[in-house]
A and B are shown apart, each in its own frame.
Chain A
Amino acid sequence: GNSVTQMQGQVTLSEEEFLFINCTYSTTGYPTLFWYVQYPGEGPQLLLKVTTANNKGSSRGFEATYDKGTTSFHLQKASVQESDSAVYYCVLGDGQGGRALIFGTGTTVSVSP
């Protein structure tokens, strides 16, 4: 079945360091992929979305590239800030009727000043 794998449970960085979060997916066809970010006590919010049509998405300094060959959708940011501390979810839009979104297990990013 469709699935998303995030191997990194926790990433700890200092401000201005490079962030890289690994995500791989398994599905048939060409899904839409998302990165959502969740701050403590809040609902997740969309960070960026990538489809097969555009292959790359960016938002607020974050970038993600859709690689169909390796079925990966890694998230990266060149220079993090303390305000980037949050949980990041890689999400697969499987398009099956109303079910729609499959969330990865999440990566907690902690950035210290």
Chain B
Amino acid sequence: AQTIHQWPVAEIKAVGSPLSLGCTIKGKSSPNLYWYWQATGGTLQQLFYSITVGQVESVVQLNLSASRPKDDQFILSTEKLLLSHSGFYLCAWTGLGGLAEQFFGPGTRLTVL
């Protein structure tokens, strides 16, 4: 069975500080991977997706970047956090093309002060 893990579970960071969030998928080779951001009380907004190692496509520019260093790992980062980065960050995977359902991780709650 496939499992998806996100770290950390929660972060409290200062404005202007760097950030790195991680996501790992086990039990699935060559998944499509996705990062989403969800403001408190809001809907999900897709940020990035990756179809293969080393390739990441940006969907929405929020002064964030993403990388896929390994087949099972997806990293979201920034060098300088903004207040507007606060929210819930979700990683998701799918094993097929664009019409398949996505499976979401447990999320990381980020608070920027």
Supplied contacts A100-B34, A100-B49, A104-B43, 17 more A-B pairs, CB within 8 Å: A32-B99, A43-B92, A44-B44, A44-B104, A45-B104, A46-B103, A51-B99, A89-B43, A93-B101, A98-B32, A98-B34, A98-B51, A98-B57, A99-B46, A100-B46, A101-B34, A105-B43
Measured in the bound complex, the distance between the Cα atoms of B50 and A32 in whole Å is 21
Q: B80-104: contact bitstring with A at CB < 8 Å (1 yes, 0 no)?
A: 0000000000101010011111111
Contact partner of B98 (CB less than 8 A), chosen from A43, A46, A51, A99, is: A99
Question: Is the CB–CB distance between B107 and A43 below 8 Å?
Answer: yes
A77 interface residue per 8 A CB criterion:
no
- Which residues of A50-84 are within 8 A (CB) of B? 51
Closest Cβ of chain B: how far from A9's Cβ, in Å?
A: 10
18 pairs of residues in contact across A and B, judged by CB atoms under 8 Å: A32-B99, A43-B104, A43-B107, A45-B104, A46-B101, A89-B43, A93-B99, A95-B97, A98-B32, A98-B49, A98-B98, A99-B59, A99-B98, A100-B32, A100-B99, A100-B102, A103-B43, A105-B43
Closest Cβ of chain A: how far from B59's Cβ, in Å?
A: 6
Closest to A44 in B: B104
Contacts of A104 in B (CB 8 A): 43
Measured in the bound complex, the distance between the Cα atoms of B43 and A99 in whole Å is 16
Contact partner of A49 (CB less than 8 A), chosen from B44, B51, B98, B101, is: B101
Task: Bin chain A's interface residue count.
Answer: 20 to 34
Centre residue among A51, A89, A97 by max chain B CB count within 10 A: A97
The residues of B with any CB-CB pair to A shorter than 8 Å are: 32, 34, 42-46, 49-51, 57, 59, 90, 92, 94, 97-107, 109
Closest to B104 in A: A43
Centre residue among A34, A43, A45, A93 by max chain B CB count within 10 A: A43
Closest Cβ of chain B: how far from A45's Cβ, in Å?
A: 7
Contacts of B51 in A (CB 8 A): 97-98
